[in-house]
A and B are shown apart, each in its own frame.
Chain A
Amino acid sequence: MATIASAGSVPRHAETAIAGELVDTRLVLYHLVAALVFLGVSILAGFLFSLQFLQWYPFEGIELLSPGRWRMIHTNGVAYGFLANAFLGSLCWAVPRLTLRPLLSKPLSWFIFYAWQAVVIATALGLTFGQAQALEWGETPVWIDPVALVGLILVAFNFMGPIVKTEGPQYVAIWYFISAFIWTILVYAMGNFIPQYFVGGAAAGAIGGLFIHDLVGLFVTPLGWGLMYYFVPIILKKPVWSHGLSLVGFWGLAFFYPLTGIHHFLYSPIPMFLQHGAVVTTIAIELVVTTVIINFFMTIVGRGDALRTNLPIRWFYTGMIFYFTTCLQCSFQTTLTFQKIIHFSDWVVGHAHLVMLGVFGFWLLGIMVHLMPRVMGAGRWYSAAANSWHYWLTAFGTLIMFLDLLVAGLVQGYMWRDLSPWEDTLVASMPFWLLRTVSGAMIVVGQFMFFWNVWMTWTRRASLPPQSVEPAPTPSAPAPAVA
């Protein structure tokens, strides 16, 4: 298995020899900072929107600050501003180091950076000024869609440049990256153009469901797992436990994940046999996910101390526990039995927050904790305490929000089924919505502590000593096994 050996040795070699010219650290930093800016805007938008549910919205009657419009900025800002930028930044670091070759073109990389920020800002402005498209997660005004698609194609070329020059079998992270690049282009084109221009009605609903799910499953998930397969072994200084399970995980995901989209519209006018099929494939994914989770938890066996001593690893593995939780939840909630009660309720909102923030947000924040001092040229973070607070506030905020909305969804679903007056279901939801706002505030405060820490680390980068970025392995730990 030449792949494993090279995967184990490449990063160390790169770090010492050619890190400087291989990775454009300034580009990585810019993408990560842009990601944090949009994360800040998105979570503030989400927090504001949550106040509407308490009848406390501070900007009532102001058109451009309408909660409905800012809800779209919340979801689109997270997807295209935060996640996409953080992924691009992480990939600008990981792909050159995995392939030992720089990206296709440095000017193209910078063009993509600026063009992508323009796309995200134009989207936010378009949504604010009432040009939304009626596609969930694709509310981007129709005139921006083709521009964004061209951007995604350029991204694929830029990252595939170094990848195609490598020879032989590839490391697992690269499988995920290659497929994610092509999938993202196809998914974006399918979801934004077909329901708008080519087909309407219930059939378009099927495509809309496929689009929502593929954005998570074929854009966010493969990039997230690819980065985990890269960063976890490097930080733990030991290879992934089982290459066979990595194969099962990748190919299982690639086969089953795209076949689940219709589960978003169960009991809808979409033909029932297709709904049944989507339920079965969704449950199948849970089995695939379990193999990946086993692989990663067997990898950390023997280095469990890292969960305590290494903050990025703690972010990663918390995200993996949430990932397993959310996928397990998915295999139940996708059944027709659960759907009777939870569809259209806050249960789904809780699920979505656990996936996007609790899993992929956590992984990307962990990567940022790992990378930002490195790309800033700082030896360590300005404040380890602020980073710790960031973790605990975000982790508990997410967990509380998830559990709160889960229960709220059940209350709503049963009250709806029992034909309670609609007004009563709102009254019953209020306490849950209050707790949701509180948990959201915890998340917001946590992120702003992190932003402050980024700023302090940047301004004092020259005076921060390098040794304590992460603690050295304890002497008693076994030597990292390299295959």
Chain B
Amino acid sequence: MFESKSGVFLIAGLGFFALSFLVMAVLPWTIYAGEEELTVTQMASKGIIPEFVDLAERYPEQFKKHFGEVNYQSYEKALRLGHKVYVAEACWHCHSQFVRPVSNEDLRWGPVSHALEYQNVLQRPVLFGTRRVGPDLSREAARRSNDWHVAHFWKPTAVAPTSVMPSYRWFFDTDGYPNERGLAIITYVQWLGSWIEEYPYFHGEGPYGPDGRPKSGDAATPDQTAAVPSPARGVALNSHGGMAR
């Protein structure tokens, strides 16, 4: 049996693989099966980050040409394209999106990553990352200004002299303004972590509604009920990005 073709094929080839698939894939799959996976439309409709509106104000011509008006549709388009660029340029090979509960990572980046943060289609396939040459980006939202990102994508060493990140000149048009991909990747990076309670509302206005203006009512301020710290130092999700809990 252990030296025959059928034994090797059936027990090792199929059987042991099936066992591993059951334990290593199906089991975690079923554990999270009940959690809704949000679409980009659902995430965009949680509210527009202030930085997206800021991009429209700073680069009106380019923004109008590539994205039109500030609304949920253009915001969704920017997130989709930004994610596509992030994967195509293999950003995730040097930047993780995964704050671990060890090595003081919560002090450096912010709250430890929560499983539900990954339940959306922009995490398909999941972007935990594999190597941290540059910083983790899962808490990057609003940490730096749009100007900083524009300068950084053009020439990283201009704002971070020891940086080993390549320059991404193809995110800019011939006049040096961010092009479609440039606006999209900045939107995507500024969005990463905007769903957490600690998201810094530098602009003081909270998420914007579908017309690019502050939302009316209590949705404009962080939902205080979601601010209860979780016992495992996990992330608290606000109503803005509010992943279903």
Interface residues, chain A, CB within 8 Å of chain B? Answer: 3, 52-55, 57, 60-61, 63, 66-69, 71-72, 130-136, 139, 163-164, 166, 168-170, 174-175, 178-179, 181-183, 186-187, 190, 194-196, 199-210, 214, 218, 247, 250-251, 254-255, 258-259, 261-262, 265, 267-271, 274, 277-278, 339-341, 343-346, 348-349, 413, 416-419, 422-423, 426-427, 433
Contacts and interface: CB of A to CB of B under 8 A. Distances in A.
Given A200-B120, A210-B20, A274-B28, A67 B166 contact: yes
B31 A179 contact: no
Which has the most chain A C-beta neighbours within 10 Å: B19, B114, B117, B164?
B164
B9 interface: yes
A-side interface mostly: helix
B interface, size bucket: 35 or more
Nearest to B85: A130
B115 A200 contact: no
Nearest to B29: A203
A426 B85 CA distance: 25
Given A190-B21, A345-B132, A426-B163, A419 B108 contact: yes
B118 interface: yes
Given A196-B125, A202-B115, A170 B24 contact: no
Contact of A274 (B11, B27, B91, B135): B27
A139 B125 CA distance: 11
B115 A269 contact: yes
Given A133-B87, A341-B103, A423-B161, A202 B28 contact: yes
B130 interface: yes
B12 A200 contact: no
B29 A199 contact: yes
Contact of A133 (B117, B125, B170): B125
Given A265-B128, A269-B115, A183 B87 contact: no
Given A131-B88, A251-B12, A349 B131 contact: yes
Contacts of B102: 267, 339-340
Given A67-B166, A183-B13, A205 B128 contact: yes
**Closest CB pairs A-B (n = 10):** A258-B20, A269-B115, A200-B124, A130-B88, A254-B12, A169-B3, A182-B13, A344-B132, A68-B90, A201-B118
Interface in B135-184: 135, 157, 160-164, 166-170
A209 B91 CA distance: 19
A247 B2 contact: yes
A201 B108 CA distance: 24
Which has the most chain A C-beta neighbours within 10 Å: B4, B33, B93?
B93
A395 B199 CA distance: 50
A269 B113 contact: yes
Contacts of B28: 202-203, 206, 262, 270-271, 274
B17 interface: yes
Nearest to B122: A200
Given A66-B89, A170-B4, A61 B115 contact: no
A255 B2 CA distance: 13
Contacts of B32: 201-203
B90 A417 contact: no
B129 to A, nearest CB: 7
A127 to B, nearest CB: 8
B96 interface: yes
Contacts of A418: 104
Contacts of B100: 267-268, 343
B244 interface: no
A179 B8 contact: yes
B9 A259 contact: no
Contacts of A277: 23
Contacts of A270: 28, 115
A54 B102 CA distance: 29
A204 B126 CA distance: 6
